[in-house]
Structure 1
Amino acid sequence: MTRAVQPALFVSHGSPMILFEPSPARDFLAGLGSQVARPDAILMLSAHHDMAGPVATASPAPPTIHDFGGFPQKLFDVRYPAPGDPALAAEVAALVGGAGIAVALDGQRGLDHGAWVPLLLAWPDADIPVVQLSISSAHPPEWHYRVGQALTPLRERNVLIIGSGSLTHNLRAIFAERRDHDAAVPEWVSEFADWVQARFDVGDRDAVLHAVERGPHGRRNHPTPDHILPLFAAMGAGGAQAERLHHSYTYGVLAMDAYRFG
C-alpha cells in the first residue's frame, strides 16, 4: 500500500479559548483532519516551544502543558494524551543534523498549547503520535526555512509537518484596548495579512521570509518574531507555493490564516 505524501501546514492557533469560543477559525481547525490524509505521525513546530537551538520532544507519553494563566478552570482541565514517538524524534534530529544544525532531544517535555489546542480540534481522539520541534527566536527566518527543508523527507513517510503560530500577533493591542472576541479589524492588521497573501500569490518567497521587515506594519503585527517563525519552517518543508486554506480574524488583531505547502 502506497503511503500518502503529506503537505506541510501552517495554522494560526489563536487564544486557547478557541476550544470554547465559536469562530470561523475554530470551525476550520475542527475540520482540518478531514482535509488531509490521516498521518502516521505529526511533527509540530509551535511558537510556544522557543529554544536557543532546535530541541525535539522524545517522550513516549508527552504530558499536556498548560502554559498560560488567567483562563477558566475548564481550560486547565483539558488533556491531550497523544502518544509521543521517540524514534521519529531521533529521525528529526538526524535529518536536521544532516543540514549542519545540531538537534537536542528532550525526553521529558510535553505538548504546549500551540500544539495541543489545534490538534485537539483537528484530531480529538489523540491517537496519532506527536513530536514537537522547537523554533528559535535567536535565529533568522532563513534558518527556520533551512530547518523546514531538512524535514521534507518526512512528508513521504506520511508524517504531517505543522507550523503553529499566528499570521499576526500583537497581544498588547488586545489587552491595552480591551478588545472583545469580535472586535473590528484595524487596517494595520488587514494590510499585513493581505500583503503576505499577495506575496504568496506571485511566489515571492524572499519577501515572505522578510515580512516583518518589509510588510506593512510588520513590526506592529509582530513585536516579537515567535509566532511567524513556524510559517517559515512550514514553507521550507513544503515549498514556497502556498494555498491559503483559511482567513479570518479574532479579537480584531489576530489574523487566523492557515496555509498548505506542497
Structure 2
Amino acid sequence: MSPMQQPAFYIPHGGGPCFFMDDPQRIWTGMGDFLRSLPRQLSAAPTAILLVSAHWETDGFAFTGAQRPSLIFDYYGFPPHTYQLRWEAPGAPDVARKAASLLTGAGLAARVDASRGLDHGVFVPMMLAFPDADVPVVEMSVERGLDPSLHLAAGRALAPLRDAGVLIIASGMSFHNMRAYGDPRFSAPSEAFDAWLSDAIAQPAQSRATLLADWEAAPFARLCHPEEEHLIPLMVAAGAAAAPGRSIYRERVLETAISAFRFD
C-alpha cells in the first residue's frame, strides 16, 4: 500500500445503540474495543470515509451528499437517552459525486441523495472509532436486490477512492439471525459459517469473488443470514481490494461467532 492508500474494512456494528447503554454482562465490550482500535490500524489519517450500511436499501446505489448530514435513529424500543446521541461529522459531497461517477462509469446505477442522513449502521460504530467526528463521511446504500456479484462489482469500481485516501468501511454483522442470538444451539453453525467466510476472505481476489458470489453454498449460510442485508456490505469491501483479506477481530457474542475483516 502507498502511504496515502487506505484499506477497506468489514466491521460489525452491534445491536442498535448497544455501546451506549448499560452492559453489566459486558456483552459488547470486546466489539466496542475493536471499533475504537480502527484508527490505530491506519498508517495515515483518511481524507474521508465511505461507509456502506446494511440499513439503507435503494434501487440502484445511492450516496449521501449533504454537507452536514443529520442522524437517523432507525432503532426502536431503546432507552430515551439513546435517541439523543450526537455525532456531527461533516459530509463529503465531492466524494459522493466521485463515487457515483465511478459506479455509473462501470455501468451501475448510482445517484447522490443530498437530503438523506446517517443511520445507526454509520453513526453508532463511528462514534467509537472516530469520536471527534473530524473525518468527512459519505454513507453508501446497498442495492435492494442484494445481489452479491453486483456489490462486488461496485467495490471494484470504487477501488480508486482508496488511492485518494478514502477509507472504505462496510458495516453489518457477519452473523445476523435475530432469533438465534443468545441461543447456544446456534454456536456450532455460526462457527462453521464463520470459518468458511474467513477462508473465503483469505483467497486471492478472483477466487474470493467466486466464493462470495455463491455465499449461500456455505455451511449453514441461510441459518446465519435468513436475510442477507447485513452480509452484503462485505462484498463492497472485498471487491475494492486485489490482495487477500484477513480477519482482524473474532469473538463469540451472544453465543454466535462474529468477525471483522481487513482488505489491503
In the superposition, the TM-score normalised over structure 1's length comes to 0.91
In structure 2, how many angstroms separate the alpha carbons of the residues matched to 1:65 and 1:56?
A: 15
Structure 1 residue runs of 4 or more that deviate by more than 4 Å after TM superposition: none
Higher normalized strand content (fraction of residues): 2
Aligned to 1:248: 251
How many residue pairs were aligned?
Answer: 253
Q: Which amino acid aligns with 2:192?
A: E
- Partner residue, 2:103: 96
- What residue number does 1:196 align with? 197
Cα deviation, 1:232-261, whole Å, max 9, x if unaligned, reads 1000112351011100132223x4311111
* Partner secondary structure for residue 148 of structure 1: helix
Partner of residue 71, structure 1: 78
What are the residue-to-residue correspondences of 1:1-262 with 2, within 5 Å?
A: 4-15=4-15, 16-20=17-21, 21=23, 22=26, 23-36=29-42, 37-174=44-181, 179=182, 186-203=187-204, 204-205=207-208, 206-211=210-215, 213-239=216-242, 241-253=244-256, 255-262=257-264
Confirm or deny: 8 A CA contact 1:166 1:227 kept in the other structure.
yes
- Listed one character per residue, the Cα deviations across residues 188-221 of structure 1 (whole Å, up to 9, x for unaligned) are 111110111123344441123322x111110011
Counterpart CA distance in 2 for 1:129 and 1:220 is 37
Instruction: Give the counterpart letter for 1:74 in structure 2.
Output: H
Residue identity opposite 1:14 in structure 2? G
Between the aligned residues of both structures, percent identity stands at 38
What does the per-residue CA deviation read over 1:145-181, in whole Å, with 9 as the maximum and x for residues that have no partner?
000011000001100011111111001223xxxx39x
Paired residues of 2:12 and 2:260 also in contact (CA < 8 A):
yes
Partner Cα separation in structure 1 for residue 18 and residue 146 of structure 2: 30
Query: Does the 8 Å CA contact 2:67/2:93 hold for their aligned counterparts?
Result: yes
Instruction: Return the alpha-carbon distance in structure 2 between the equivalents of residues 190 and 172 of structure 1.
Output: 17
Q: Which moved more, 1:236-245 or 1:44-53?
A: 236-245
CA contact (8 A) 1:88 1:131 kept: yes
Structure 1: unaligned runs, 5 residues or longer: none
Taking a change above 3 Å as real, the CA distance of residues 227 and 19 of structure 1, as seen in their structure-2 partners, is: same
Q: What residue identity is the alignment partner of 1:84? A: G
> Which one-letter code corresponds to 2:13 in the other structure?
H
How far, CA to CA, are the matches of 1:139 and 1:221 in structure 2? 16
Decide whether aligned partners of structure 1 residues 99 and 160 sit closer, same or farther in structure 2, where only a CA change above 3 A counts: same
RMSD value, Cα: 1.8
Matched residue of 1:101: which SS? coil
* Structure 2 length-normalised TM: 0.90
Q: What's the offset of the Cα at 1:24?
A: 1.1
